[in-house]
Chains A and B, each alone.
Chain A
Amino acid sequence: MMNQTVVNVKDIHKVFGKRSENQYHALNGVTFDIKAGEFVGIMGPSGAGKTTLLNVISTLDKPTDGTIEIAGTNITSMKQRQLADFRSEQLGFIFQDFNLLENLTIYENIALPLSLQGVPSRKIKPSVVEVAKKLGIETILEKYPVTVSGGQKQRAAAARALVHEPAIILADEPTGALDSKSAKSLMEAMVHLNENHDVSIMMVTHDPLSASYCERILFIHDGALYKEIHRNGSRSEFHHQILDVLADFAE
């Protein structure tokens, strides 16, 4: 189980713009794997292609070239409708903002992926409560998103991303709109999910502190893999390591 590959990205390219126009190569042959139960961070300067990479992995966008396999399925050859179903079954999403539907309670938000898959209502409640406990938000389930804090919202988003037991959770700057304290609590919750419940996570972030919670970080530069670092020691050591790599970019 531990060494099974959940995401396999092979030599993907992404070109924006039609052939006749000004073309922009956002991704230039990126290759990497994510193993089950890994917590991988993606970092890089602005415009490096991080969001583009996340979008093609999350099937929201199609790569121009290359193949992507998620949980053993090649997603690059799938049709729109299959892709939607694939997303709803195999992927969990946490965005920077607008994660939750304001017109639904936190409970209903978390339950939505299960309802959409046709899980019978009597089985929904135990799953929602269980995942809410994992993220420490079981007391706010009946509230509406506007009445809870930003950190709680993001944890609720994480709960929603997790509730249907996807192969991997994809997060694009989940702490981007949070203050440092809320960011810390979200990251701790994610680490908890990763370590105690074997959830695989891929997270794009700008924030070195958030990134230091990951096990492994892929640095992207100009649409290509620039460097890869693993965490061996403590979190603060890893934090310094990350800052060093980022300093390289500045030069």
Chain B
Amino acid sequence: MLLKLSFSSMRKRFKDYLVLLFGLTISIAIFYMFETLAQNKTFIEANGMISSIVFVFHVGTFILGAITIFYIFYATSFMLTLRQKEMGMYMTLGAKKHKITQLMFFETFFIGLISLLVGLIVGFGLAKGIAELFMWQLDFNGEGFQAFYLSSIITTVIFYVILFLLTSIVNAWKISRKSVLSLLHAEQKQDFVKTKGSKTFFGVLFAIILIGIGYYAMINIAKLMQAGVILAAVTIIIGTYLIFIAFLPYFVKKLKQNRTLNEKGINSFTLGQLRFRMLNLTKVLGTVAMLVALGLGAMTAGISFYHNIEKQASAFHANDVIIHQPSKEDTEALAEMNVTEKNVYHYKIDDQGIYFLKKDLTDNPPLIKYSKETFELPETTRVSQALPKDKYVLGQNDNIASLPEFWTTAISMEINASYQQFGAKDVYVYGSAGYQEIDATEQQVILATVDDFTDYLPQLKTINTNQLKLAETYREETVENIGTKYSNYVAFKAVASGTIFMGFFLGVAFLMMMASVLMFKLLSSAAADTHRYSMLRKIGVRKSLLVKSIYRELFLLFLFPALVGLVHVIVGMQMFSFIIIEPYTKIWIPISIFIIIYGIYYWVTVQMYKRIVLPKEV
């Protein structure tokens, strides 16, 4: 009987339960999605660039687990507030206390199980969709990744079943301890918070100082090293919370004090709601801002690592293309590219050595990469050293002069007269007379630069394949890397894209989780707003105006943590400026992903909120 009653009342508060189910489902889906990666050790180890990658995932699981625990406890206590009044009613009608306790336990647990089932299905879909999207975008085959991963399913189920058991027990325990009266009047409590002036001032001051210190530490990370990371983490976390605890309420209060703004249309109500909300949401907003910064930061760092690959590959080579003994296919491929500079050098090659014609080199000196100091990024320069002698050798030799430094770089790096290309051979530069005397077939090598390296990957691949074959004829073994710019690019990319994929995957998971925490928190308090909207509607506020007010209020609530998180990320990318060549290239990609995810949550929140608070029309 009681069970039937409770089902029918759950149906009546369907909208509230929808919010609850939605919140739980998202949390489970994201947890599962995260675990598909975290538990797939072979995949992580095979694709991680850094050795500590497994550790990173452990930390990630820990953070996500901690957030989830808070989230689930909050969500199920929301369920308690939904039900307690009615439970009180059953009790006044004579239901036994232990029956009510049991009922509460089973209800909580039942809701948990439903959301677990739906959450796993959604999580599987998300993992598959997002993984495929990024793999396609990153041109990364991601072998070994499985959206349906049994061990992750088991972990998710165990984790949540335990969690739901605990929360069910807590809910049952809470209800068993309350008196009938306190249950009946549960909903009449009004939460109301006041701000104090002097505290606010110091809070605002402190927040600004702390964040300033944190930003300073991040920008000067090269000097401060590890201490800087710790300093930045501590000051920025505290500062961010302070911003939401002190600064934003103060800011909205100041907005409200502007009479012309506040007394225009429905503004006073919108701002009043905002202020009221803000005071109840400080910690959530602070957490959202921090995790937005983390998730977005992971993605932004990932994308800049990705775009860094080409720059890293060009750190050692000034020329984009190098073709030894070009075939017809090679010259055709070269013709398809927009060549900005092209030089041809002749050489003779026999079993002992490779002999370059000095005249070719000095007539058209090649470009090289050169760095003045050891830890500086190399710059492109043209070789200008004179070669007065008749014969030079690369390296040390008692009879012949050693090739000067820049020419050595030019021949070993740019022209690639190296072991990788030709096996063990001595390399010489001869004047015309000496060159004539060498009895070997003459060959040529083409060096070229192009307008955009990444535009010609297919052509470069063709050329590279031919060069590998050429190397195999000299070295008489299989060759996989001949150390040209293209083969470096391919190697770097293979290593990096796995890590970047994981960064993106995790970043997206965190962002979705964060936005859903905010959404849930907003929607779970929506029912308490219903009477305000109904009152406004009665006194003659147009519905369209109320809708506008909802859009604005929620927009600002979503905006503040997003803005704070975004600024953190933009400043935080400075930390990478000493490993990543241009940390801000293509930053719009992660920011757009973020805006899309966040925007969808905002829109859904507004729609659900509207359905809850706006009264039905006659």
Q: Which residues of A contact B (CB under 8 A)?
A: 58, 60-62, 80-81, 84-89, 91, 93, 95, 98-99, 101-104, 108, 111-116, 118, 121, 124-125, 144, 146, 160
Q: Are B540 and A85 in contact (CB under 8 A)?
A: yes
Closest 3 CB pairs of A and B: A88-B540, A87-B540, A103-B272
Q: Are A95 and B535 in contact (CB under 8 A)?
A: yes
Q: Which of B262, B535, B540 contacts A99 (CB 8 A)?
A: B535
Q: Which of A62, A93, A115, A146 contacts B266 (CB 8 A)?
A: A115
Q: Are B259 and A62 in contact (CB under 8 A)?
A: no
Having A101-B269, A102-B276, A121-B264, one finds 13 other A-B pairs with CB under 8 Å, namely A84-B542, A87-B540, A93-B539, A95-B535, A101-B536, A103-B269, A103-B273, A104-B268, A112-B269, A113-B539, A115-B265, A116-B540, A146-B190
Interface size class of B (residues with CB under 8 A): 20 to 34
Interface flags for B6-46 (1: CB within 8 Å of A; 0: not) read 00000000000000000000000000000000000000000
Is B267 an interface residue when CB atoms closer than 8 A count as contact?
yes
Q: Smallest Cβ distance from A158 to chain B, in angstroms?
A: 13
Q: Are B263 and A115 in contact (CB under 8 A)?
A: yes
Please report the C-alpha to C-alpha distance between residue A95 and residue B532 in the assembled complex, in whole angstroms: 12
Q: Are B263 and A101 in contact (CB under 8 A)?
A: no
Q: Smallest Cβ distance from A17 to chain B, in angstroms?
A: 14
Q: Are A111 and B535 in contact (CB under 8 A)?
A: no
- Residues of chain B within 8 A of A91, CB atoms compared: 539-540
- Residues of chain B within 8 A of A118, CB atoms compared: 264-265
CB-CB nearest in chain B for A89: B540
* Number of CB contacts from chain A to chain B under 8 A: 88
- Residues of chain A within 8 A of B269, CB atoms compared: 101, 103-104, 112
Q: Which of B276, B531, B538, B544 contacts A87 (CB 8 A)?
A: B538
Q: List 6 A-B contacts (CB under 8 A).
A: A60-B618, A95-B538, A101-B535, A102-B532, A103-B273, A146-B190
CB-CB nearest in chain A for B532: A101
Please report the C-alpha to C-alpha distance between residue A163 and residue B292 in the assembled complex, in whole angstroms: 46
- Residues of chain B within 8 A of A61, CB atoms compared: 618
Q: Are B538 and A108 in contact (CB under 8 A)?
A: no
CB-CB nearest in chain B for A86: B540
- Residues of chain B within 8 A of A93, CB atoms compared: 538-539
Known: A85-B540, A146-B190. A108 touches B272 (CB 8 A): yes
Please report the C-alpha to C-alpha distance between residue A93 and residue B534 in the assembled complex, in whole angstroms: 13
Looking at chain B's contact residues, is the secondary structure mostly helix, strand, loop, or mixed? helix
Q: Are B618 and A146 in contact (CB under 8 A)?
A: no
Please report the C-alpha to C-alpha distance between residue A77 and residue B539 in the assembled complex, in whole angstroms: 19
- Residues of chain A within 8 A of B260, CB atoms compared: 121
- Residues of chain A within 8 A of B543, CB atoms compared: 80-81, 84
Please report the C-alpha to C-alpha distance between residue A61 and residue B616 in the assembled complex, in whole angstroms: 12
Q: Are A88 and B268 in contact (CB under 8 A)?
A: no
Please report the C-alpha to C-alpha distance between residue A61 and residue B273 in the assembled complex, in whole angstroms: 28
Interface flags for B524-560 (1: CB within 8 Å of A; 0: not) read 0000000110011111111111000000000000000
Please report the C-alpha to C-alpha distance between residue A93 and residue B536 in the assembled complex, in whole angstroms: 11
CB-CB nearest in chain B for A91: B540
CB-CB nearest in chain A for B529: A103
Q: Are A121 and B263 in contact (CB under 8 A)?
A: yes
Is B192 an interface residue when CB atoms closer than 8 A count as contact?
yes
Q: Smallest Cβ distance from A36 to chain B, in angstroms?
A: 21
Known: A84-B543, A91-B540, A146-B190. A111 touches B263 (CB 8 A): yes
